[in-house]
Chains A and B, each alone.
Chain A
Amino acid sequence: MANVIRRQTPAARLFRGLLYGVLILAALFYILPLVVMLMTSVKPLSEISAGSLLSFPQNPTLAPWTKAWGEACTGMRCDGVGGYFWNSFAIVIPAVLISTTIGALNGYALTKWRFKGSELVFALMLFGCFIPFQVVLLPMAQTLGWLGISSSRAGLILVHVVFGIAFTTLFFRNFYVGIPNELVSAAKLDGAGFFRIFWRILLPVSAPIIVVSVIWQFTQIWNDFLFGVAFSAHNTQPVTVALNNLVNTSTGVREYNVDMAAAMIAALPTLVVYVLAGKYFVRGLTAGSVKG
C-alpha cells in the first residue's frame, strides 16, 4: 500500500499532521505502563510513597535491581530471581525447538501431501488452541504421574510441547499453503521423498514463519505460570513462579521498586525478543507475498 499516489494539498498536509498526532498519542498509551515500571524500579522507597506514580525519579538507584536479582526473598530463600532465570531457559528452549519442529513437519504434511481428511485433521488439531489450562491441570497431573515424570523438567517440557503443537501447526500450515505446489510436485516427479523435499525445498524458505513460531512459543511458554507452579519441583521452578513468590512476600512495607525490577527482569528475554526480532516477526507474517 505504500506506493499509492498521494496528493500534496494543504488538506493533505493537515491530515498528515493529524496522522502523526494520533500515532504519537497511541504510542504514549502503549508506553506509559512500561515507563511507570522502569521509573518505579529505580526509585528509592521513600520517593515511591511520597510521590505520585509518574513523578520522575529524583535519586535514581540500581539497588532494587541488584536486590531483585540476587537478594530478594522468594519465600524462605532470599536469593532473588536470578537463579530461576536459568530454570526458565532450560524449560523454554527445548520446548520451543521441539514444538516448532513438529509444527513445521505437520504443516508440511497437511499442505503438500494432502490426503482424504487432512483438512478435518487440521480442524481437529486446531481446538487444542482453546483449552484453558486450568481445565487440564488435574488430568495432566495424573498423566505425568503415570509416566513417572511429574515434578520434573521433562514433564513440564512435555506439557508445553503438547499444548504448543496446535499453534505451531497453525502457523506453518498457513504459511506453506502459500508456497506454490508446483515446486513440490516437480520435486516429486524427480523422485524426491518426503523428508528430502522438506529439507531441500521448504525449509530454506521457512525462515520467516520459523521466526513467528519461535517468538510466539517463546513468549507463551516463558510467561506461563500455572503449569510452571504445578509441575515443577522446588529446584526447577521457572522465573514466573519466583516472581509471584517475590511479589507476595512482603515484610510490612511492600517494596514496589524491587517488585517492578523483578517483573522487568522476568520480562526481559521476551521484551528483547520482541524489540530485536519484531521486524522479522512482521516480515514473517508478510513474507508470503514477497515472491519472485
Chain B
Amino acid sequence: MRDSLPMKNTSATPLEAGAKRSTPSGGLQAWLPRLVLAPSVAISLFFVYGFMLWTFVLSLTSSRMLPSYDFVGFGQYSRLMANERWWVASTNLMIFGVLFVVICLVIGSLLAILLDQKIRQEGALRTIYLYPMALSFIVTGVVWKWLLNPQLGIQAMVQSWGFESFRFDWITDPDMAIYTLVIAAVWQASGFVMALFLAGLRGIDDSIVKAAQLDGASLPRIYWRVVMPCLRPVVFSAVMILAHIAIKSFDLVVALTGGGPGYATDLPATFMYAHAFTRAQIGLGSASAMLMLGGVLAILIPYLYSELRSRKHG
C-alpha cells in the first residue's frame, strides 16, 4: 500500500546520501543543500532557540516592566509555584488540550469516514466543515461569546421556544467555562482534521479493503482494523497541528471569556501575557513561558521521537 500523503513523515532510504559526482561542480553541489538550508537554520537558531534562551535568562532576573539583568536565581520559579492562578492555568491547559485534541480527532475522523461514503453533496458539505478554519480566533471567540450568552444566545432562544427550564450558561459558571473554550475551538479546527483524514482515506489502496470485505468482514470492522492503522501518519500530523493550536490559544480566550469568570479560564499563554505585559512582571512571565514550553516539549518530544523512528516500514 502506498502511504504517500504529503503530511506524513516517512524516512525513505536515502539513495544518494553524500553522493558526490565527479563533475567539476561536484564539490559545490554537495554543499548547495547545506547552503540553502543554512539561512533557515540560522533563523531557527536565532529567532527560536535564541529567543527561548533569552527568555530563560530573563526568568532568572527580577525584570519588571522592561528587561533588566539583575539576577535572582530561581526566585521567579518559586513565586510561580506559589501562584494559585498559575496552577489554575496549567490545569486548564491539560483539560483544554486533551479534550480539544481528542474530540477533534474523533469528530474529524468520523466526519471523514462518513463523507467518504460517496455522498452526493460532498463538496458543499466539505466546504461547510472546513470554512471555520479560515476565521481568526478573535472572530470565533466573539461569535461564540454571543451564542453562549445566556441572555442573548442559545439559552434564550431555546427558552423562547417554550423550554423554560433549559439552561446553557456554562460561560458564566467558573467550573464549566473552560468547556466553552473547547466547544469553540473544536468548532474551528475539527473541519481541518476532517480534511486531513479524508485525504488520508482517499490515499488508501482499495485492494486491501476489498480483500478484507471478501473475507467477510463488516464495514465498521474494516474501518477499525484495517483503515485506521494506515492513518497513523495522518493522526500524527493532526496531533501536531492541534497541539500547536492548543498551546498558542490566546486570542480565543481573550475574545470568548477574557480569562473569566474571575480567572477560571486562564491558560498559560494568557497568564504569561498578563504578567509580562500588563502587570510589568517580565521575570515572572518569562518563568511561566519557560515552564509552558518545557511542559509542551516534554510531551511532544517523546511523541515526535516515536513517530519519526517508527517509519521503518512501508
Which chain A residues have a beta carbon within 8 Å of chain B's beta carbons? 1-5, 16, 19-20, 22-23, 26-27, 29-34, 36-37, 52-54, 102, 105-106, 108-116, 119, 121, 123-140, 143, 162-163, 165-166, 169, 171, 174-175, 177-178, 181-182, 184-185, 188-189, 191, 193-195, 208-209, 212, 219, 222-226, 240, 243-244, 247, 259, 263, 266-267, 270-271, 273-275, 278-279, 281-282, 284-289, 291
User: Who on chain B is nearest to A181 by CB?
Assistant: B15
Q: In the assembly, what is the distance between CA of A127 and CA of B47, in Å?
A: 11
The residue that A219 contacts in the complex, of B54, B134, B157, B297, with Cβ under 8 A, is B134
Contacts of B167 in A (CB 8 A): none
B160 pairs with A109, CB closer than 8 A: no
Contacting A at CB under 8 A, from B1-38, are: 2, 4-12, 14-19, 21, 23, 25, 29-30, 32-34, 36-37
Mark contacts of B178-193 with chain A using CB atoms, 8 A cut-off: 1 yes-contact digit, 0 otherwise.
0000000001000100
**Which of B48, B127, B154, B196 lies in contact with A278, CB distance below 8 A?**
B127
- The listed residue with most A CB atoms (<10 A of its CB), out of B19, B123, B138, is B138
The 6 closest A-B pairs by CB, nearest first: A223-B136, A285-B199, A175-B6, A288-B4, A289-B203, A113-B33
- The reply to whether B6 and A171 contact each other, CB–CB distance below 8 Å, is yes
Contact B137 A134 (CB under 8 A): no
The listed residue (A123, A128, A175, A193) touching B29 by CB distance below 8 A is A193
Chain B residues whose CB sits within 8 angstroms of the CB of A4 once the complex forms: 206, 209-210, 213, 219
Q: Is the CB of A178 within 8 A of B40?
A: no
Contact mask B189-218 → A, CB, 8 Å, 1/0?
001000110111111101001100100000
19 A–B contacts from the bound complex (CB under 8 Å): A1-B202, A2-B118, A32-B147, A52-B160, A114-B17, A116-B17, A121-B37, A128-B48, A129-B240, A130-B247, A130-B297, A131-B51, A132-B250, A136-B51, A189-B21, A191-B23, A225-B136, A278-B131, A286-B5
The interface residues of chain A lying within 8 Å CB-to-CB of B47 are 128, 136, 140, 143, 162-163
Option from B16, B138, B156, B296 in Cβ contact (under 8 Å) with A130: B296
> Secondary structure of the A side of the interface?
helix
* Whole-angstrom CA separation of A137 from B272 in the bound complex: 12
Q: Which of B72-80, B98-106, B108-116, B169-177 contacts A (4 or more CB under 8 A)?
A: B108-116
Of the candidates B36, B153, B244, which one forms a contact with A129 in the assembled complex, judged by CB atoms under 8 Å apart? Answer: B244
B141 to chain A, nearest CB (A): 11
Tell me whether A30 and B304 are in contact in the complex, defined as CB-CB below 8 angstroms, given that A134-B273, A136-B51, A288-B6 are known contacts: no
Tell whether, in the assembled complex, residue B131 and residue A274 are in contact, meaning their CB atoms are under 8 Å apart: yes
Task: Give the residues in chain B near A143, CB-CB below 8 Å.
Answer: 47
A132/B147 in contact, CB under 8 A = no
Is B152 engaged at the interface, CB distance under 8 Å to the other chain?
yes
A263 touching B139, Cβ below 8 Å: yes
> Which of B9, B43, B118 is close to A174, meaning CB atoms less than 8 Å apart?
B9
- 8 Å CB contact of B16 from A125, A184, A286: A184
Q: Given A33-B147, A130-B244, A138 and B37 touching (CB < 8 A)?
A: no
Q: Which of A1, A109, A121, A139 has the most CB of B within 10 A?
A: A1
Q: Is the CB of A1 within 8 A of B204?
A: yes
Complex contacts, B306 vs chain A, CB 8 Å? none
The answer on a CB contact under 8 Å between B147 and A53 is yes
Contact of B272 among A132, A171, A263 (CB under 8 A): A132
Whether the pair B5, A288 counts as a contact (CB closer than 8 A) is yes
Contacting residues, chain A, for B23 (C-beta < 8 A): 191
Q: Are A109 and B304 in contact (CB under 8 A)?
A: no
Least CB separation from A129: chain B residue: B244
Instruction: Taking A4-B219, A123-B304 as given, write out 16 further A-B residue pairs in contact, using a Cβ cutoff of 8 Å, ordered by the A residue number.
Output: A31-B128, A106-B36, A115-B17, A121-B41, A123-B308, A132-B247, A134-B272, A138-B282, A175-B6, A195-B32, A226-B250, A267-B134, A270-B135, A273-B134, A287-B6, A289-B202
CA distance A181 to B5 in the complex (A): 16
B8 to chain A, nearest CB (A): 6
B195 and A281 contacting across the interface, CB-CB below 8 Å: yes
A23 in complex: contacting residue of B12, B125, B152, B244, CB < 8 Å: B125
Contact B128 A286 (CB under 8 A): no
Distance in angstroms between the alpha carbons of A279 and B204 in the assembled complex: 19
Q: A135-B272, A275-B127 are in contact. Are A177 and B8 (CB under 8 A)?
A: yes
Partner of B131, one of A22, A174, A263, A275: A275
* Complex partner residue of B289 from A132, A171, A286, CB under 8 angstroms: A132
* B203 touching A286, Cβ below 8 Å: yes
Closest to B160 in A: A52
| B16 in contact with A113 (CB, 8 Å) | yes
B293 at the interface (CB under 8 A from A): yes
B126 at interface, CB cutoff 8 A: yes
CA A185 – CA B12 in complex, angstroms?
14
Partner of B116, one of A1, A185, A209: A1
Pick the contact of B40: A2, A36, A125, A135 (CB < 8 A): A125
CA gap between A273 and B138 in the complex, in Å: 19
Q: Chain B residues with Cβ under 8 A from A185's Cβ?
A: 15-16, 19
Known: A139-B51, A278-B127. A130 touches B2 (CB 8 A): no
